[in-house]
Amino acid sequence: MTRELVLAAIQSAVSTVLEVDPATVSVGLRFVEDLKADSLALVEIVEIVEEQLADRGFAFADEDLDDLLTVGDALDYAVGRLG
């Protein structure tokens, strides 16, 4: 899976949960500070991304979630785990 497809999945999830235009969701944005996501929104975003990438066997490890502060962090993490 390409980096672009993973980014599209993350943008789609953020857009759905936070009701923002997916085109405005860039890799430098911070989930809490810039996108104003609370803990429940973050869980929903994670679940949607996992659903969208399930056919690749992807899942976020719970212990890694606190380290994913930006869209770019989530993107790098997902791409790394997908190999």
Q: What tens digit of pLDDT does each residue of 68-81 get?
A: 999 999 999 999 99
CATH topology of domain 3-82: 1.10.1200
55 is a catalytic site residue: no
Amino acid at 7: L
Report the phi/psi class of residue 2: left, alpha or beta, with left for phi > 0 and alpha for psi in -120 to 50: beta
- Write down the pLDDT at residue 78: 96
Considering the candidates 34, 38, 64, 67, report the single residue annotated as catalytic.
38
Q: What tens digit of pLDDT does each residue of 21-39 get?
A: 999 999 999 999 999 999 9
* Cβ pair 17, 10 in contact under 8 A: no
Sign of CA dihedral 58, 72, 67, 10: negative
Of 1 and 34, which is predicted with more confidence?
A: 34
- Write down the pLDDT at residue 61: 95
Residues 6+ apart with CB under 8 A from 29: 35, 70, 71
pTM of the full structure? 0.93
Instruction: Give the span between the Cα atoms of 75 and 28, in whole angstroms.
Output: 11
**pLDDT at residue 83 greater than cutoff 90:** no
Domain extent listing, the chain: 3-82
